[in-house]
Amino acid sequence: MGLVGRHELRSLGTRLSRWQKIALGLFISFFVIYVTSPYDGSLRAFFRFQHSVARDYYQSQRPSDGWLYRKQHYPINPDNDIGVIIKTGYGTKHRMPQALRALSNESFFPDVLVVQDFPVIPEQKHYNLTNDRTVGKGLEIIDILGWNLERGALKGREHLERIYKYRNLRDAVEAEEWVLSEGLGRTIGWELDAMKFLPALEYAWNTMPKKKWYIMIDDDTYVIKSTLSLLLGHLNYGQPHYIGNPVGDYKGRFPHGGSSVIMSGATLRNLFEWHPEIAAESNLESPFAIWGDKLLSTTLMKIAVYLDETYRRFFNGEHPWMTRMWIDRLCLPLMGFHGLGDKESMEQVGEVFKDQPGPVLWSSLAKIYGVSDYQTFIDVPIRPNINYVGRLDEGSTTIENVAKVEDCLDICDRHSTKCLAWAYDPNNKRCDIAPWAILGDLADGRFSGVNGKLGKRLVDRCHAPH
């Protein structure tokens, strides 16, 4: 049998042309190099990124939501099966009462851990989750940087500038020097935030080790329970999962922390129980990190857990009125909102979304906030003093020297599958079109509209929950 096999290989070799042999040799060489390269190396990162780009393009061209409403193989109770980690800092601590009130509304009452960069102060002892079902539910608050230092996870790094800054803030808080504390909190908060991610997750794993899922959010982020339940019920929490709103290039792809980051219990187990040395190395890197969410991502790459971008269209990094409702996600559920730093915004969002029946879709935002539906834009396509495009980026298109507003409307109509909203500035003769629409932003002197025909056609294809 061995002789026959070698004979067949020699025969194949004689049949191949010179260029075919070269191509085969190059393929084999590349394959060997790829499989022997490190998990977090540039080569593997590059091809993972290209694969994500290709898959994202396919999903944008053929959006699908039907799978969400099929039978869930891993159903969860979000109040019991999800551990929520809220990151806050001294400069933003005023957000916490509203964030907890919104989180503990009638729709969501999970186990919560609050991690911060300063010692617990008296007013925080009154923090709890309270809703109509119970008087209150306690939660733990921890100075996560102090905990990390005390346990020796930053041994050898105590002399670094960022550690000194933390200690100055800690000492000011303990001395009740509130003016100095406020100044330090605003100035160094972003630096200390980068050091919270890994110890926060490890502390959560130690204190809430039986959760199927862990979600990390900022103190100005609101998450929607129905979306969490619907998505996570289709994912096996016994397997490593790491999902979020991706940013960055292939060298350091990571989920935007403000949009929320979701990890399965298996992911935390793999890191903190099976590879504690990797976690220890990353803790030592944290005083130099610019972004903690990127450090988390590069840490998980070392244990072959990569950001899964399949579910990127669920995540949102904006507050409701600036949320961009893209063409390719109108039928999908919305994970939540970010940028709710002021008291009124968080309270309003908490009240609006606590009693929503069923999943909150991107396309349902307009109805929830009382904005005109797509049919009204078919009847009256041009609206004055408003902008339905919002923030421009590489996904939008700007056309200069457009004579009048009707011409801008015609341009959007000609891009009937790629233009969901348009805006016209008569002073600059500029027309902006985009594959998304926002609820509407006041813009004196401008004109704008939504492609009602496209929007109506898209939402008519949405599946409904059984």
| The domain boundary residue, chosen from 11, 36, 61 | 61
437 domain residue, yes or no: yes
The count of C-alpha atoms lying within 13 angstroms of the C-alpha of 265, restricted to the half-sphere facing its C-beta, is 16
Q: Report the pLDDT value the prediction gives residue 1, as an integer from 0 to 100.
A: 46
What does the DSSP assignment read for 125-136?
Answer: GG--EEETTEEE
Grouping H, G, I as helix, E, B as strand and the rest as coil, residue 443 is strand
Rounded Cα distance between 353 and 367, Å, is 12
395 and 305 in a common domain: no
Phi, psi of 213 (to 5 degrees): -140, 150
385 and 349 in a common domain: no
| The domain boundary residue, chosen from 14, 29, 61 | 61
How many CB atoms are closer than 10 A to CB 270? 19
Rounded Cα distance between 332 and 227, Å, is 9
Q: Which amino acid is at 436?
A: W
Tokens 């190396």 — which residue? 41
Each residue's pLDDT tens digit, 210-229: 899 999 999 999 999 999 99
Grouping H, G, I as helix, E, B as strand and the rest as coil, residue 56 is helix
91 and 51 in a common domain: no
Q: What is the chain's alpha carbon radius of gyration, rounded to the nearest angstrom?
A: 26
Grouping H, G, I as helix, E, B as strand and the rest as coil, residue 140 is strand
C-beta of residue 224 within 8 angstroms of C-beta of residue 333: yes
Q: Report the pLDDT value the prediction gives residue 3, as an integer from 0 to 100.
A: 46
- 165 CB-contact burial (10 Å; exposed 0-12 / middle 13-18 / buried 19+): middle
For residue 396, give the CATH number of its domain: 3.50.4.10
| The domain boundary residue, chosen from 353, 381, 399 | 353
C-beta of residue 336 within 8 angstroms of C-beta of residue 221: yes
Q: Report the pLDDT value the prediction gives residue 205, as an integer from 0 to 100.
A: 97
283 and 233 in a common domain: yes
C-beta of residue 72 within 8 angstroms of C-beta of residue 237: no
What does the DSSP assignment read for 74-124?
Answer: S---HHHHEEEEEE--GGGGGGHHHHHHHHTSTT---EEEEEESS---GGG
What does the DSSP assignment read for 151-176?
Answer: TTTTTT-TTSHHHHHHHHHHHHHHTT
Give the helix/strand (H/E) hosting 42.
helix 42-61
105 and 24 in a common domain: no
pLDDT in tens, the chain (466 residues): 454 455 554 555 566 677 776 776 666 765 556 566 665 566 666 655 555 556 655 555 666 788 898 999 999 999 899 999 999 999 999 999 999 988 887 668 889 999 999 999 988 888 888 876 566 777 899 999 999 999 999 999 999 999 999 999 999 999 999 999 999 999 999 999 999 999 999 999 999 988 999 999 999 999 999 999 999 999 999 999 999 999 876 666 789 988 999 999 999 999 999 999 999 999 999 999 999 999 999 999 999 999 999 999 999 999 999 999 999 999 999 999 999 998 899 999 999 998 787 789 999 999 999 998 999 999 999 999 999 999 999 999 999 999 999 999 999 999 988 999 999 999 999 999 999 999 999 999 999 999 999 999 999 988 766 5
- 296 CB-contact burial (10 Å; exposed 0-12 / middle 13-18 / buried 19+): buried
Q: Report the pLDDT value the prediction gives residue 80, as an integer from 0 to 100.
A: 92
How many CB atoms are closer than 10 A to CB 11? 9
Closest residue by Cα to residue 93 from 70, 71, 114 = 114
* Domain, as residue range, for 320: 78-353
361 domain residue, yes or no: no
Instruction: Answer yes or no: pTM beyond 0.75.
Output: yes
What does the DSSP assignment read for 310-350?
Answer: GGGGG---S-GGG--EEGGGTTSBP-EE----SHHHHHHHH
83 in the Ramachandran plot: left (φ > 0), alpha (ψ -120 to 50) or beta?
A: beta
The encoded tokens of residue 117 equal 């960069």
365 domain residue, yes or no: no
> How many domains, the chain?
3
67 domain residue, yes or no: no
174 and 242 in a common domain: yes
Q: Which amino acid is at 346?
A: M
33 and 155 in a common domain: no
Rounded Cα distance between 51 and 43, Å, is 13
The encoded tokens of residue 306 equal 């990569």
Q: Report the pLDDT value the prediction gives residue 210, as an integer from 0 to 100.
A: 87
